[in-house]
Structure 1
Amino acid sequence: MHLFYTPNITSPQSHYQLSEEESKHCIRVLRLQKGDEVQLIDGRGGLYVSTIADDHPKRTLLEITSSIQEYQKRNHYLHIAVAPTKNIERLEWFLEKATEIGIDEISLIICQRSERKEAKTDRLDKIITAAVKQSLKAYHPVLNEPVSFSKFLSADFDGQKFIAHCEPGEKINLKSALKLQGSSLILIGPEGDFTPQEIDMALKNDYKAITLGESRLRTETAALEACFEVNFLNR
């Protein structure tokens, strides 16, 4: 079954016209024809089954035959704030795999030891969209623009807050600290880790220090480990 990301679709709706780009992909690339069945996802939990009513290569018209709301809705909310990696491909890998596993929101934080100070979120968001379609997710994770670490800490978050770091000090395991079926936010630092000052700032803002194991992990690996662990514990 072919899947298209259609964030502007509404429910209930009997027909939907694909964008020119998606129409070309549908008819010219996939070579689908009138009467063929396709699925649509809106990124907000809606999954729609539709049939091609008009196979025009620039304005393909679909007839919606059924829909499901809150499709495969998860029982928790996960927000990971991660420092962009110097090699942007490593961040792209994390976004792809975290989307496949299950994540709701990603923030890019610029820390004192960050080697990368900016990131093109338009391109990164397309990678998330591709992963959403590949893994048949009806929810599209939110990707926020890069902000400074201190500015991010000042934002409100209604849920548990954690910071994963490698500095000495008292730390707890996610397994023992995480409240299941709730909202959680986890901070993952840059390649050189958070500075002691940043860790202290986070702790003063009600973040709890956690460990992700004995190994020293790369930034993108640590972020994915946190994503996997939260999803696994909430099963």
Structure 2
Amino acid sequence: MTTTFYAPPDRIRDGMIDLPGDETRHAVRVLRMRPGDALVVVDGVGGWYEAELVDASKSRAVARVIRTRREVGESPFEITLALALLKQRNRFETALEKAVELGVRRFVPLVTARTEKGGLKRSRAESILIAAMKQSGRSRLMDLSEPVTFDAALRLDADLKLVAHEQADPASSLVRVLAGPAYPERVLLMIGPEGGFTGEEVTRARSAGGRVVSLGPRRLRAETAALAAASALMLWGDAAPTSVSASAST
């Protein structure tokens, strides 16, 4: 299997790719790659490059582009996942990593009435995003926003706003909502903290046009709920009619 590397757009020009320092070290010192070896490079903004290594030293690795593709591994829909900050950072980081694997385009840390004190180290989070993008075969780096309030999240642009709640009517299950005839291009999925959203927050969500949905009869941890719902959205989006997928990705 060809190894995938990351290089931002400013390191790709005139058909040549200059790998960043950490990617160079991985290619040359860890994998012991040599000129002539094949590799794949993604630029984080939708570019996917099949390439051949032409220069490999301890300080620099340069590859020549052989073939270029766009939007490899990307969902035809822009999925924004707004997950409440969790008290245990490792659980939040797991959700962050898996959201990348599931095709989420944007991840929004959410501050709600029941959010407990938590945090996210930006530098560590960015490393997680890059590693997950390469591992999952995506070509876009998931956008990670700064934490926002519940009401600010409701104001985000989306054609369909889904608010998961444990007391939602079973008839409003996520699967039934997605079974409708419409294929919106932008979906916002909001998941509450360990204690869930308050009744007042649910009321405000409905007033803002949100669809309050059920994720089933089982009690799920916040990160599990986020990944279960994101998985459903990924499969739903990947099954979209070709004409819809084409219009959503342009």
TM-score normalised over the length of structure 1: 0.91
Q: Is the 8 A contact 1:170 1:209 kept in 2?
A: no
Structure 2 matches for 1:38-77, cutoff 5 A? 38-77=39-78
Q: Is the 8 A contact 1:85 1:116 kept in 2?
A: yes
Q: What's 2:165 paired with?
A: 165
Question: Does residue 214 in structure 1 map to residue 213 in structure 2?
Answer: no
> How far off its partner does 1:101 sit?
2.2
Q: What's 2:245 paired with?
A: none
Q: What's 2:244 paired with?
A: none
AA partner of residue 218 (structure 2): S
What does the per-residue CA deviation read over 1:146-169, in whole Å, with 9 as the maximum and x for residues that have no partner?
12223323x331310011112366
Question: Does residue 182 in structure 1 map to residue 215 in structure 2?
Answer: no
Q: Is the 8 A contact 2:161 2:188 kept in 1?
A: yes
Q: Is the 8 A contact 1:128 1:140 kept in 2?
A: yes
Q: What's 2:230 paired with?
A: 227
AA partner of residue 25 (structure 1): H
Q: Is the 8 A contact 1:79 1:185 kept in 2?
A: yes
Mapped to 1, the partners of 2:94 and 2:101 lie a distance apart of 11
Aligned-pair Cα RMSD in Å? 1.9
Q: Is the 8 A contact 1:54 1:62 kept in 2?
A: yes
> How far off its partner does 1:170 sit?
7.8
SS at match of 2:204: helix
Describe the shift of the 1:168–1:227 C-alpha distance in structure 2 as closer, same or farther (beyond 3 A): closer
Structure 2 matches for 1:113-152, cutoff 5 A? 113-152=114-153
Query: Which structure shows the bigger proportion of residues in helix conformation?
Result: 2
Q: Is the 8 A contact 1:81 1:186 kept in 2?
A: yes
Query: Unaligned regions of 5+ residues in structure 2, if any?
Result: 240-250
Mapped to 1, the partners of 2:24 and 2:203 lie a distance apart of 52
Q: What's 1:30 paired with?
A: 31
Aligned residues: percent identity?
31
Mapped to 1, the partners of 2:106 and 2:232 lie a distance apart of 16
